[in-house]
Structure 1
């Protein structure tokens, strides 16, 4: 019959490693937020430039506005990701505390098998499982939110490349519009690379 002393803890990724991985994810998301703010400023300047160029750059102006909206949506998405990360950090911290406390309880129970420590240990093991399950749910939510952000950035890439095409029709403003659209494309690709890296994080893959 299995009891709190004979039960083997389920194999889990080391909580300490998870904490380090979450911190790295959070730092990368902060960087993406900063870059998305840069896109917003660039888009406002591009809209102004398109107005100066007149009807020839009307399509470029529309796309620049869409990129501005994209940057705002991306920041909102990243803020939601940050909230999930904070939840993960909290749960990982609890799991780390659980591990330490459970180890002490297990040692006490092994020294006195008939003591009250056995019952306390069993309750603690159950609580540990609940926290691990909650962390697993948060991990899944974070992964799905990250996938949504990646799809959003894919759309941003399409907008940026379309702006490059429209820039060619800007007549005398074409060189300036092309430069701006090239910067858009480069920044969106940078964000895409960051999110692609996060998707491969060991926090999600487990290795």
Structure 2
């Protein structure tokens, strides 16, 4: 269980990093929208996609906030399970050293409570995994938007180079997020 706590902390740190990158996408998208406005009608499609990438970044931050909430619930549940394990060990030692029946009853109650906490933790793991899968699907959409922006950049006439550079940065950042989420999905916490 203590290794689960470490794994959860690592997952949480990765989620924080993704939130930071999502904020960066939002700023980049705002700048891209202004650049598209300067480019005029030739970059209308790029402007629309830049706005969609801005919305994507906001959705991603919301999604990561939900993941963060699940992480905190997992930390609490792992802490309770660790406490249960320590109490059960102590109660077993006490039961072995005495013939007091109330200690045996306390041990049974603690073991039952531990089973409930273990079940809650397993449920939280599944919820977290589903939420990660949903986040990954959202990032796949972000990848499509970034690749579409690359295509639209080619139509930007005199601004095509600048638009291509921005869309390339979008694509690179979305790929970075995708890699982070894939690493999270492979975490030992889910095995």
Q: What's the TM-score, normalizing by structure 1?
A: 0.91
Report the counterpart of residue 47 of structure 1 in structure 2: 33
- Quote the Cα distance in structure 2 between the aligned partners of 1:203 and 1:161: 33
- Quote the Cα distance in structure 2 between the aligned partners of 1:176 and 1:113: 81
Matches within 5 A, 1:15-164: 15-164=1-150
CA offsets per residue over residues 104-146 of structure 1, 9 Å max, x none? Answer: 0001111124431101100000000010011111111100000
Structure 1 unaligned runs (5+)?
1-14
Please identify runs of 4+ aligned residues in structure 1 that moved more than 6 A: none
Q: What's the TM-score, normalizing by structure 2?
A: 0.99
CA offsets per residue over residues 37-82 of structure 1, 9 Å max, x none? Answer: 0000000000000000000000000000000000000000000000
Report the counterpart of residue 169 of structure 1 in structure 2: 155
- Quote the Cα distance in structure 2 between the aligned partners of 1:114 and 1:16: 32
Structure 2 unaligned runs (5+)?
none
Q: Which moved more, 1:112-121 or 1:31-40?
A: 112-121
Q: Which moved more, 1:108-117 or 1:23-32?
A: 108-117
